[in-house]
Amino acid sequence: MNNKEFISKLAKRCGISPAEAVAGVESFVTVITDRLKDNDQLNVSGFGVFEVKMRNERVSVNPKTGQRFLVPPKIVPAFRSSNKLKDKFNE
């Protein structure tokens, strides 16, 4: 499902216009982004948790040259699904 199909389905299900659905999705993504930038997590009940995780530094190898190099540590966004969401897949 691409973004256009998602917006269309969301608008139809909620009984709103596609423009309102786009605004809602953009607002949701903005809230998630803002929370993650503040190193905070966002818990969406029944869906899951959006959080930031720290990746440790590691040694990587360039497959073409075989040269080894150090990849620095970095912060990455992560999603952990709730048990309710997992259970819906196993029904």
pTM of the model: 0.73
Q: Give every CB contact of residue 8 below 8 A, 6+ residues apart in sequence.
A: 18, 21
pLDDT at 91: 77
**pLDDT tens-digit series, residues 32-70:** 999 999 989 999 999 999 999 999 999 999 999 999 999
Q: Which CATH number fits domain 3-81: 1.10.10.60, 3.30.70.260, 2.40.280.10, 4.10.520.10?
A: 4.10.520.10
Q: Which residue has the higher pLDDT, 90 or 65?
A: 65
For residue 89, name the pLDDT band (cuts at 50, 70, 90).
Answer: confident
Q: Which residue carries 């009984």 as its tokens?
A: 15
For residues 24 and 7, the answer to whether their CB atoms sit within 8 Å is no
